């Protein structure tokens, strides 16, 4: 039995499914997860010391490549001064100031420890600030695992959804309306019927949790318009896209200004940091200023904040995103060329340091279209790439991530392997 298989068996005895987050268990692709021992730059090494080119990047945070020496040093230096105080620190102010300086939609931010906390609290804040209960989300968008966001679409276009997880009472999602991504007519229809009761729309402004799906022309602008018209708040969940697709997230790319923004992943540089923010007018509703409660023992943790600050400083280097986007596009286009040359129905897309691979003739625009991609072929591709030392996300419905350390040689090595693999699947 391989060392990875031994560890998986052992893990499965003490941890449900052997993992601390479900996608890691390889359920959708089958086989044995790789237990990672260490990571450096674009590479990870598993329990058998096998090296992989990594396109998971800890699901987004590792934008500088793994274990960037300056980020590691910042963590070490912070740790020496104490791991957690439960009292305010100067470094927290610095992180808040950096986020506010970079994203024009932010006047104030509150730091938390995960994306889930950020989105859960942003929803609570939207409800508290508007005095309304209903919220709108889109099918295929993921906003963490808080109760009212674990919802799938109901049977009719405008019926309220059903829980997508056991343990969530239907009443908890009875205020959540789930609509089709990129379908502005459905949004207008929903607001025509329920506009006065809708607190907010929450959206991944570029979706990265149903593979990569970009907003159609006018979609984000339309959401902005509908929210403004009906007095609802627009929440951009930029937990994944923030500082990943460009220096100002999707709000910078699109020019659409949300009322609230949620962040995590890159802003923690691999440590647990999340944030939500918006105008001071809205943020004044958060405790201790206002009646919307939120708290966290480890919020603004000094070691995590140090990693975030170092990361945000390094990604502000001139030309950082041009280079990152160019490398990511080289990978996506190179894969598409090679797959099509092998006669496979395959498409790829990218934005900034994020990419999508689809076993389909065209790039999908909705959850239904992405669901129709050939997952069996993706699974064969995934395992063959993994055997050859390339680590993609173990699911056909996840986006991929490129870091600043994925240089031409790394991308070319990936494409050479892919060319061989495409011929066999």
Ligand X SMILES: *Cc1c(COP(=O)(O)O)cnc(C)c1O
Q: Which residues bind ligand X (CB under 6 A)?
A: 114-116, 119, 142-144, 204, 208-209, 237, 239-240, 264, 274
CB of 233 to ligand X, least distance (A): 17
Q: What angle do CA 85, 91, 97 make, to 5 degrees?
A: 135
- Report the residue number, 114 or 414, with the smaller CB distance to ligand X: 114
Q: Identify the active-site residue in 134, 137, 265, 330.
A: 265
Peptide bond into 288 cis (omega under 30): yes
The secondary structure element, H or E, covering residue 9 is helix 3-14
Residues 6+ apart with CB under 8 A from 304: 113, 268, 271, 272, 273, 298
CA distance 113 to 84: 13
The verdict on whether 257 is a catalytic residue reads no
For the bound state, the minimum distance from the C-beta of residue 145 to ligand X, rounded and expressed in Å, comes to: 7
Active site residue 55: no
Shortest Å, Cβ 109 to ligand X = 16
Question: Is position 265 annotated as part of the catalytic site?
Answer: yes
Question: Of the listed 46, 237, 259, 349, which one is catalytic?
Answer: 237
Nearest to ligand X of 123, 357 (CB atom): 123
Question: By C-beta, is 209 or 254 nearer to ligand X?
Answer: 209
- The DSSP call for residue 379 is H
Question: At its nearest, how many Å lie between ligand X and the CB of residue 136?
Answer: 16
Contacts of 182 (CB under 8 A, 6+ apart): 213, 215, 216, 219, 365, 366
Q: Which is nearer to ligand X, 68 or 265 (CB)?
A: 265
Least CB distance to ligand X at residue 173 (A): 17
- The token duo for 286 is 């958060």
Return the beta strands (E) in 217-353 as ranges: 233-237, 260-263, 274-278, 347-351
In order, the DSSP letters of 158-196 are TS--EESSTTS-GGGGTTEEEE-TT-HHHHHHHHHHHGG
Q: Annotated catalytic residue: which of 142, 181, 321, 358?
A: 142
164: its two tokens: 């997508």
Enter the tokens of residue 250. Answer: 């999707």
CA–CA separation, 334 and 406 (whole Å)? 14
| Chain mean position to CA 122 | 16
The smaller minimum CB distance to ligand X, of residues 268 and 334, is found at 268
Compute the least distance from the CB of residue 113 to ligand X, in Å.
Answer: 8
CB closer to ligand X out of 137 and 230: 137
Active site residues: 142, 237, 265
């Amino acid at each position: 039995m391989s060392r990875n298989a031994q560890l998986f068996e052992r893990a499965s005895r003490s941890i449900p499914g052997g993992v601390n987050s479900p996608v890691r268990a390889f359920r959708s692709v089958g086989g044995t997860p790789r237990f990672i021992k260490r990571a450096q730059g674009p590479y990870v090494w598993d329990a058998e010391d096998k090296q992989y080119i990594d396109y998971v990047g800890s699901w987004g945070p590792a934008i500088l490549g793994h274990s960037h020496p300056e980020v590691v040093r910042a963590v070490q230096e912070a740790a020496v001064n104490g791991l957690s105080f439960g009292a305010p620190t100067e470094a927290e102010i610095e992180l808040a100031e950096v986020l506010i300086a970079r994203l024009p939609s932010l006047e104030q931010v509150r730091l938390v420890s995960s994306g889930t906390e950020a989105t859960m609290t942003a929803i609570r804040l939207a409800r508290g600030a508007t005095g309304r209960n209903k919220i709108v989300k889109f099918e295929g968008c993921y906003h963490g695992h808080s109760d009212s966001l674990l919802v799938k679409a109901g049977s009719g276009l405008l019926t309220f959804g059903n829980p997508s997880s056991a343990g969530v009472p239907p009443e908890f999602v009875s205020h959540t309306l789930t609509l089709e991504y990129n379908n502005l007519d459905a949004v207008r229809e929903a607001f025509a019927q329920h506009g006065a009761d809708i607190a907010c729309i929450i959206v991944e402004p570029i979706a990265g949790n149903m593979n990569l799906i970009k907003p159609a022309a006018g979609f984000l602008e339309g959401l902005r318009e509908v929210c403004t018209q009906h007095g609802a708040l627009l929440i951009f969940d930029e937990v994944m896209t923030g500082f990943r697709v460009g220096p100002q997230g999707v709000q910078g790319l699109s020019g659409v200004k949300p009322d609230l923004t949620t962040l995590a992943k890159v802003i923690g540089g691999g440590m647990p940091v999340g944030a939500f923010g918006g105008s001071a007018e809205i943020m004044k509703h958060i405790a201790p200023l206002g009646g919307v409660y939120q708290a966290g023992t480890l919020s603004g943790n000094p070691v995590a904040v140090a990693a975030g600050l170092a990361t945000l400083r390094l990604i502000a280097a001139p030309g950082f995103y041009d280079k990152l986007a160019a490398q990511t596009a080289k990978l996506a286009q190179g894969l598409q060329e090679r797959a099509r040359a092998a006669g496979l129905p395959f498409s790829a897309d990218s934005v900034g340091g994020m990419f999508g691979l689809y076993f389909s003739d065209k790039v999908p625009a909705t959850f239904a279209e992405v669901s129709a991609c050939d997952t069996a072929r993706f699974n064969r591709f995934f395992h063959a790439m993994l055997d050859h030392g390339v680590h993609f996300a173990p699911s056909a419905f996840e986006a991929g991530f490129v870091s600043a350390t994925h240089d031409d040689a790394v991308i070319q090595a990936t494409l050479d392997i892919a060319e061989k693999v495409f011929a066999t699947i």
